[in-house]
A = this chain, B = another copy of it.
Amino acid sequence: MSKLRLSITMSLDGYVAGPDQSEENPLGTGGMQLHEWFFPLKAFREMHGEDGGEVNASSGVVEERRENIGATIMGRNMFGPVRGPWPDESWRGWWGDDPPYHHPVFVLTHHARDPLEMTGGTTFHFVTDGIESALSQAKDAAQERDIWLAGGASVVNQYLAARLVDEIDISIAPVILGSGARLFAGLQRDTLKLRQIRAVDAPGVTHIKFQVG
């Protein structure tokens, strides 16, 4: 059975992006600090076609998160800064011609758009009929493999509230953002029964994985 696996980085005070997200500042004010543990890694540099980089306790976690993933689901703000109807087809994601997904990516939006085929195996599909439809399409695309729930907070919180997430792997960054997009906002008590599977103490970050029961 294909699982829906959330992996995301959160500040110690619960935010996955800072306020005032924009094209210049996709993660909002201060949001880049969340990912400082990731940038020095060999795994990150490889994604950008660069040599070198560190291998540390985070490397195994990054690898584990990618294993057996056949499709990705994300919110529209994670795909790009365009709001409202698409003015044209010119926005093609933050990631250049060869995005680091290499599989179908389902982008939740209120505004229809034709699928966008990139090089390297990534195709962006724009889903306008809700989170359950996106999950069902992602499952078909992933075949027996799992689906990565990538962000942002709004889409993730909707999937959590609907109890559709099977696994949560949170990277907690040593950062206080104070405002922005808050993960787990709006959930009712005990919506999720969590069982801690493991925690990894890595340079500048802690990765905690939960099974959702």
Q: Does A172 contact B (CB under 8 A)?
A: yes
Report the minimum CB–CB distance from A159 to chain B (whole Å).
14
Of B175, B178, B201, which is within 8 A of A200 by CB? Answer: B201
> With A199-B200, A205-B196 as given contacts, are A18 and B178 in contact (CB-CB < 8 Å)?
no
Task: Tell me, in angstroms, the Cα distance from A6 to B176 when the chains sit together.
Answer: 16
Task: Tell me, in angstroms, the Cα distance from A205 to B188 when the chains sit together.
Answer: 21
Report the minimum CB–CB distance from A65 to chain B (whole Å).
17
Of B30, B177, B204, B206, which is within 8 A of A206 by CB? Answer: B206
Q: Does A62 contact B (CB under 8 A)?
A: no
Closest to A168 in B: B12
Q: Are A187 and B178 in contact (CB under 8 A)?
A: yes
Q: Does A101 contact B (CB under 8 A)?
A: no
Task: Tell me, in angstroms, the Cα distance from A183 to B179 when the chains sit together.
Answer: 13
Q: Are B174 and A194 in contact (CB under 8 A)?
A: yes
Q: Are A29 and B195 in contact (CB under 8 A)?
A: no
Q: Does A191 contact B (CB under 8 A)?
A: yes
List residues of A (160-201) whose CB comes within 8 Å of B's CBs.
Answer: 170, 172, 174-179, 183-185, 187-192, 194-196, 198-201
A177 surroundings in chain B (CB, below 8 A): 189
> With A170-B12, A175-B194 as given contacts, are A18 and B208 in contact (CB-CB < 8 Å)?
no
Of B30, B172, B187, B196, which is within 8 A of A13 by CB? Answer: B187
Task: Tell me, in angstroms, the Cα distance from A210 to B201 when the chains sit together.
Answer: 12
Q: Are A194 and B18 in contact (CB under 8 A)?
A: no
Those 8 A-B pairs whose CB atoms lie nearest each other, nearest first: A199-B201, A13-B184, A174-B194, A199-B206, A178-B189, A174-B196, A14-B14, A178-B188
Please, could you name 6 A-B residue pairs with CB atoms under 8 Å apart, sorted by A? Answer: A13-B185, A172-B208, A174-B196, A178-B190, A196-B201, A200-B201
Interface residues of chain A, those whose CB is within 8 Å of chain B, are 12-14, 18, 29-30, 170, 172, 174-179, 183-185, 187-192, 194-196, 198-201, 203-206, 208, 210
